[in-house]
Structures are given as C-alpha cells and as structure tokens.
Amino acid sequence: METGAFHYRSGTLRCDDVELAQVAGRFGTPAYIYSRDRILANFRRIAEPLRRLNGLACYSVKANSNLAILKLLAEAGSGFDIVSGGELRRVLQVAADPGRVVFSGVGKTSDEIDAALAAGVLMLNVESAGELEVVESRSRHRGSGAAPVSIRINPDVEADTHPYISTGQTIHKFGVPKADALELYRRAARSPHLEVRGVACHIGSQILDVDPFLRAVDEVLALARDLRSHHIPLQLLDIGGGFGITYRDENPFEFDRFFSALECRFRGQELRPLLEPGRSVIGDAGVLLVRVLYVKETQSKRFIVVDGGMNDLLRPALYGSYHEILPLEQRDRTHSPADVVGPLCETGDFLARDRSLPEFKPGDLLAVLGSGAYGFVLASNYNSRPRPAEVLIESEKMRLIRPRETVDEMIAAEL
C-alpha cells in the first residue's frame, strides 16, 4: 500500500513536498507525521456528499485528538463526535461550534453530562435506560432548558471486522436493544427536561462493506417511522462511523455507492443524516517514523529492532493489525523475511511479523504507514517511555504539533 500523501520521489520517501528524512532529522524518532492535505481531502470526500443531503459530518475525536488536527477540521466545517469530558474540552479548546458536537459512549458520568449540557452540544447519544434517567435528572437540576437526546440503538447487524471493534450486535455493550427503544423514547418524550432530537447507531470500525451500514440505516429508519406514528418525530439520524481503509490490499470502501444509497433513503425526508468518521479521515494521512537500532538474527528469525514500539503504536499488539512498512530510502536489493520489533519487554511488542523486507543497518529510517488513526491516541508510557512527537506537514512546511514528551514531564505529577 502506498497512499497519495506518502510517495517516493527520486528514491526518497516524502509526505507531500517534504522528505521524511528531513522531518526525522529535525524532530527525531519515533514521531508521527500527518499530511494536512490528505486529512482535508479525506474529510471532504465524506462531508461534501453528506452536505448535499443536508447532513453533517462529525469527525470522531477518538481516532486522533491532536488540537491542531481538530482545529484544521473545525475550520473545514466539521462537527465532532466525542466520548468523554476530555474530548469535549479539546473541541471547545479549538473553538468548535458545540452545536455541532454529539456525545457518544456507554459510560458518561454526571460531571461529563453536566459539562456537555453547559456547553450546549447538539445531542447526547444515550446508551441505556439508566443513562437516560441521569441525563433527565441533571437537566432538571440545571433548570435551563431540555437536554437534547438521541437513543443509540443496537441494530443487531453483523459487521465483518475485528471482534474488538465490532459494536452493533446484542452481544456487545453498546446501545439499547431495538425492542426497548420505543419505551425509552416514550419516556424521553414525556419528560419536560428532555428533548428528543434523533436516533443513533454505530456498528463497528474498519468495515469495508457498504451493506452492513445500509442494513443498520434501514433498521433505524424503520424505528424513526414507527416513532413518528407515535407522534415522536426525529430530526437527526446518526449512522456513526466505521468506514474501513486500505492497510494492505483491501478494496477501498465504496463511498459513491454508500452515498447514492443514502440519497435514495434520505431524499424527501425531514431527517438529516449524520456521520461520525474517524479512521477514514486520518488513518492513511499519518505514518509513524522509526529508526533502526539493531539488526539481530537467531536460528529462526531476523529481527529489526527499532526505536518505536507498542507504547507508540499499539495496534499490531492489540489487534494483530497489519501496517505496511517502507524504508525511507527506496531499495531494490533482495528481500527476506523479518520481524520489525520495538524495544519494550514484551514478545507482543512488534510492528510487523514475517514481513519480506530488504537489509537494514542501524540508523536506517522506516515509515509505518496507516498510523494516523488510533496511533498516538493509544500511545502510553509503558516501560517509562515518553510519548512520541507529532508533526503536521502543510504542503512544503513541517509544523511540530506536539513536542516529544520528556522524561521530566512524564514523571512530573508523581509524588
């Protein structure tokens, strides 16, 4: 896989107009590098057809929550999907319009609900009867208008993805079973402290097939019709996120087919569609740059030990995810199998396994592609390793958007 933003020119890997080796020279490794142009192109590919349906794209902050990226997207007209008080603070920090923010998540605390109501979010996607009660009581306590809510429905649709990121079946903790929805909506509609605004669903992440989305949309549209017949009209239908990207050789998600199917369903409807894309906006717009520390061979394997590991990019260890690995200097020399491993004390600390790769020597630089989403946000200080730097490439310029964490910063709050 070689994405538009990351390409070789004269044998050297670049992000847009900048040589990645220069970025490594200036900011060191490990470092996340993102392409502004790619982020915006990815966002517009979703937001523009949606706007034609009077819909709204709410970037899912959990995928990558760097303030510079949120600001970029807010300026491009994005709404935001948040799942915590911390994410709310981030979107407010970049002066995003809270009236374009949806608050999802199964475990919102009273404090988080208060903060969202005070900010004036578009809606809280409520995930249980218990949460509806808490939202109602916090809204009553605030005494300044009804809290805007939608109920997140679990549409019981199976999506072909990793079990950890599949969310739309009754075995999963997310949403409310379809059978319970009408009763909850009735309860919400009766309360003077709640304003029913919409319905939500989200069936999982890294889904490449359009059909499960359409099955979920059809389920929630049927519910919306049912609610209308009970005099509970909805304004917004939040379809969630989850559009898959190409990490290896997967066929790209068919956005054209998806949007024409949405058009058929939403044309002439008062309901506005809302999407919460995360990975499909930022995933292929980012790489993790790492440097080779050592090369070692055992009887059975060649190991390329690099300076970035599972604390920097957890996805391979957590999900067994595949990330393409490219040398910064293109080479035609013979390839042989190797594992690319990090410095942490876990056998699960790998970035690639049994991959056909050229020879490397200490000091060589590698790019781990497709690392923009669920990369830095999942980084940790495991093994007391400071978190990596983040750099945004803006055409021919590089901008540090998060300095590398220092050891002093890492331990500063501890007593």
Ligand X SMILES: Cc1ncc(COP(=O)(O)O)c(C=O)c1O
Task: Write out the catalytic residue numbers.
Answer: 345
**Between 278 and 388, whose beta carbon lies closer to ligand X?**
278
**Between 84 and 311, whose beta carbon lies closer to ligand X?**
84
CB atoms within 10 A of CB 361: 9
Cα–Cα distance for residue pair 76/59, rounded to 1 Å = 11
CB neighbours of 364 closer than 8 A, spacing ≥ 6? 291, 292, 327, 328, 329
Query: Least separation, in Å, of the C-beta of 242 and ligand X?
Result: 4
Query: Least separation, in Å, of the C-beta of 63 and ligand X?
Result: 4
**Between 207 and 389, whose beta carbon lies closer to ligand X?**
207
**Which residues make up the interface to ligand X (CB under 6 A)?**
60, 62-63, 81, 104, 202, 205, 240-243, 276-280, 373
Taking alpha carbons only, the member of 103, 43, 100 closest to residue 76 is 43
Are 302 and 339 a contacting pair, CB within 8 Å?
yes
Query: Least separation, in Å, of the C-beta of 201 and ligand X?
Result: 9
Taking alpha carbons only, the member of 375, 352, 334 closest to residue 292 is 352
CB neighbours of 330 closer than 8 A, spacing ≥ 6? 8, 11, 12, 13
**Between 242 and 342, whose beta carbon lies closer to ligand X?**
242
Taking alpha carbons only, the member of 31, 75, 9 closest to residue 399 is 31
**Between 280 and 321, whose beta carbon lies closer to ligand X?**
280
Distances (CA, A) of 348 to 214, 234, 310, 338, 345: 37, 47, 8, 15, 9
Cα–Cα distance for residue pair 222/200, rounded to 1 Å = 13
What do you get for the CA distance between the two ends of the chain, in Å? 46
